Structure 1
Amino acid sequence: MSIVELFIVLAFIFLGARIGGIGIGLAGGAGVLVLCFGLGLDAGHIPVDVILIIMSVITAISAMQVAGGMDWLVDVAEKFLRKNPKRITFYAPIVTYLMTLLAGTGHTAFSTLPVIAEVAKGQGVRPSRPLSIAVVASQVAITACPISAAVVFFAGVLAPVGVGYIELLLICIPTTFVACMIGAFVANFMGCELKDDPVYLERLESGLIKQRTTTERRQISKHAKLSVGIFFIAIIAVVAYATVISPTVGLIHHAPIPRNEAIMSMMLGAAMLIVLLCKADASKISSAGTFKSGMSACVCVLGVAWLGDTFVAAHIGEIKEFAGGLLAQYPWMLAVTLFFASMLLYSQGATTAALMPAAVAIHVAPLTLVASFAAVSALFVLPTYPTLLAAVEMDDTGSTRIGKYVFNHPFFIPGVVSIVAAVALGFAFGSLII
């Protein structure tokens, strides 16, 4: 029966991936019904705290977006890229990485991709080089963002095994950033030079290449900087509070409010200040693009985490016996499993929620758990992720193109290199902290 149940879990995950969007969450809930009513399993645990944190964080981000903060951040990024055009392949991933780190969503890359493509083309640089690693960096940075759904959920999973929120960030931030720079180095040598690309030359001769001489100026709200400042201070407050109440630091032994609840209250408080001080229209927050994507993430985490926990809780003994020894002998297998799972689930948060609790349950070493975490960002493998497709569409030189064999696209090698480097650095650097 366990094989039948596993097949049902995988079938519903596959169905959700085929549906797309919040489909993985919908399919997860349906899978729970089949396992419980059809096969008699007990319903698993729902990660309520994580879902509430996502809602709180997304509300604050959406308030900042309504106040013009996102437009201001994009404007700053655009000015930075235009001032440093010759090293665009290295500066582009820095920009997308930092924007994801601050905003908690890789979709911020949408706004900078046209600028990256334009600046690269203007310098005669093959646009596929900076575009590919910029998209990868925007995805990998999720595993280092203090307020991302994946990090918040994973921190909760790690707490019982003695790894705190701060230790997780201390390992993930430097290792993922350095790994993305290694990926940028590799991307800088990929493909022929733009002037030698036959596809580019053909498109240039056909008049399909647009040469932009001016840039459209955004209308930046006078309260935009203040909204970003309020949100940034809230993030610092979250990290600082988590630090002082952590057992490692121990400055506050009896915290007046637990870490998860503190994140929720601080984010909601930041949203309130943005609405009041920045004159943001509260009625527009729920219709902001980031709010909609965040609520979709809540549904995805709810469905897939609930489905996964329902199966794992029912078969924890068999899972320990089968996978425990394998991962003890080959710890890197966890990273490989996360890599392929995220490739199908299209979500760092969903992949983390689906697999990390099971890994903890079978007593995988804490160092292996943390070092492998970056592997949940393999969203670039299949050329169907929104930011990847946007990069392809925004490069009118034709250098950022998807090959006929599906996997032979410019995002694949820089992405794999970045994740392999992040996992390797995680094992090396993590051993000094954990």
Structure 2
Amino acid sequence: MKTTIAQVPKYEGQTVTIGAWLANKRSSGKIAFLQLRDGTGFMQGVVVKNDVSEDDFGLAKNMTQETSMYITGTIVEDKRSPFGYEMQVKQIEVIHEAVDYPITPKEHGTEFLMDHRHLWLRSKRQHAVMKIRNEIIRATYQFFNQNGYVKIDPPILTGSSAEGTTELFHTKYFDEEAYLSQSGQLYLEAAAMAFGKVFSFGPTFRAEKSKTRRHLIEFWMIEPEMAFVDHDESLEIQEQYVSFVVQAVLANCQLELAVLERDTTKLKAIKAPFPRISYDDAIELLKKKGFTDIEWGEDFGAPHETAIAESFTKPVFITNYPKDIKAFYMKPDPNREDVVLCADLIAPEGYGEIIGGSQRIDDLALMEQRYKEHNLTGEAYQWYLELRKYGSVPHSGFGLGLERTVAWLSGVEHVRETIPFPRLLNRLYP
């Protein structure tokens, strides 16, 4: 019976064959312990000299790291193992012998590991992070599908930008200027006017020369957009979505969280509703915490977000930022012209902003005024303006950064570990 490591609990007491790689090994006299991996998980294979042929025991003792094989044996329960099962090996068939595998069990520097990212992904820690990423994606589709959203794929090549062109990658689109998308939002607003509730999941690009642990040049965004939904309703959807994803990871990634030694007690508390603090109150809170230089009208940096988050055990919404530091499409607060109906969701434990969202302007005259204030050419944005001309409705949306969310839930320090092949300021390889 050929199976995978993930499936072996179904075959306790039975003999199975698994295609696997050797992650590590140790041997002592007449017994060898093989740490096996097959992509679905990690498991120990125990090779006892008296239970296998002389050739197979020689293979087990001398096999090199990352050698591939078909390995056959009986599945038994092993309560000492986090996985809970191991294989009592009967036969080994080597497929390919790996020689001088560069990532040995010793410590390696980060740059060395990043240069070998194509191999580093095989490690137990990186495997755990990617499995958590996969669960967040799976839960995202489940949440939006079961709540009546339609997935829409916005273009990656665009002729205009959502938030200005200063931090965009420019390219030639035949004889026109084009940009790599920094957000699919504008296109999703058009889709929301056709389908009501939509979401996208795809890559976005920021030509931002930042080296912080929270920034990537290429990252993935989940962007829902909703017709007939106001700002407060959008906040409720955001906290329900984040709560759903966190609980899904806790339920389905217990082994991976254990590998990463993640403190799950903090994650278990992540359930809606989330606390909310206005930008005005956030400024006062920061001043009390020692940020005496911060002035009303300034945007928050990483230290500010971390300081605000320290006052809460759950993610916290910072609402109603000043109009002048936010994007042109955000709807002004009807009670205050100087702030807009927006919110950033700040994750606990210093992981920073994971969601930015707002209610969008739905008034044609006001949007035309914003175009003039932001020097937006009517030609490039004419289609976006027409959304306010033909059946405009109140609508809201938000974007969640996948990699920051993965970093927060898995507890890793830097977002470079949260995407298979990170694109950083100094890295386009591999």
TM bucket (normalised to shorter chain) is under 0.3
TM-score, reference length from structure 2:
0.25
Q: Which structure has the larger Rg over C-alpha atoms? A: 2
Structure having greater relative contact order (Cα 8 Å, sep ≥ 6): 1
TM-score, reference length from structure 1:
0.25
User: Which is helix-richer, 1 or 2?
Assistant: 1
